[in-house]
Amino acid sequence: MSPTGQNPANAPQTGESIAADQNNFSAPPNGGHPHGKGQRGQRQQKRERRDVHGWVVLDKPVGMTSTQAVAVLKRLFNAKRVGHAGTLDPLASGGLPIALGEATKTVPFVMDGRKRYRFTVQWGEERDTDDSEGRPTQTSDARPTPEAIQAVLPQFSGTILQTPPQFSAIKIQGERAYDLARDGETVALQPREVEIHELILVDQPDSGHSVFEAECGKGTYVRALARDMGRLLGCYGHIVALRRTQCGPFDEADMIPLAELEALCDRAASGEGSLADALLPVETALDDIPALAVTRADAARLARGQAVLLRGRDAPILNGTVYVTVGGRLLALAELGNGELIPKRVFNLTGLVASPDRN
């Protein structure tokens, strides 16, 4: 579930050695076809998708849907498989982690991580979408003081019950809530528990606007926070600006603006660089999981889906999920218990991967 919810146009999408020339975003020499075919064969070859593995944390611009962002990345990398980890509304900007290839197997680890947002609430008006794109439903001349806002913040900390926005992707009898809301139906959404790790007031530029920062868990709607604070303060409110500054292990230092990514793509296409420089390794999403190195013999068994017994003095004293490496390369996600290592997801990283400098 998206922490910020989503608008109708923004449905979620779900998601050993590399040869040097596989890391270049360039066509075959002279545009030639390996089988000597003509122009038609060349066009077919250009359309053929390729294996790309890693993460790109797009600094999504306002106005772009998450689905559109995935389509752009798929085109830029000519990649076979692309998905994102945590939808952002078109209104929102900031970190949209996009998984390519085998990185899609690690999407749940990013989506389950904490998210951090900076957002601006406009007081005096509630809207049906809980953001500036909706229609006004309630108005008030009252404006909250910073002291009044500070006084209600403790009620939005820890584990709280939150009713999702009417315009959200939650399914009701097989229908998306936002589709029902667009058709004029009143959607009865049930409140559910969400985790708010931190909610702070960081600025009050004028009496009608307040700027907040929030760190929250999976399934939290920031739009609903603005709505509920406005109701509690008796002045109503909705979000007018929203930026995600952290998503799981990724923060602003990992983000790349779309224009910069497109420029890198153009340079790579002309042979002046590699799109591998834009990728973060697949295992970046697994920062909170212990890593376990195995021998090549054990790696061969795990790659075939077979369990491995780890014995002796050097056997790890661990239980639970680990990510397995061999020779410094990611091999598998596995469950370790009582000295037995059972592979759950095996990675095949043949193709374009992150540059060694990104590891």
Residues designated as active site? 89
Angle between helices 66-77 and 258-269 (to 10 degrees): 10
Distance CA(341)–CA(290), nearest Å, equals 13
- Take residue 347 and report the two structure tokens written for it: 């990675």
Listed in sequence order, the residues at least 6 apart from 255 whose beta carbon sits closer than 8 Å to its beta carbon are: 57, 58, 59, 94, 95
Q: How far does Cα 104 stand from its chain's mean position?
A: 11
Question: Closest Cα partner for 125 from 247, 227, 11, 4?
Answer: 227
Distance CA(325)–CA(244), nearest Å, equals 31
Strands (E), the chain: 54-60, 82-84, 93-100, 115-123, 125-127, 136-139, 158-162, 171-172, 175-176, 192-206, 209-216, 237-247, 250-251, 255-257, 291-293, 308-309, 320-326, 329-337, 340-346
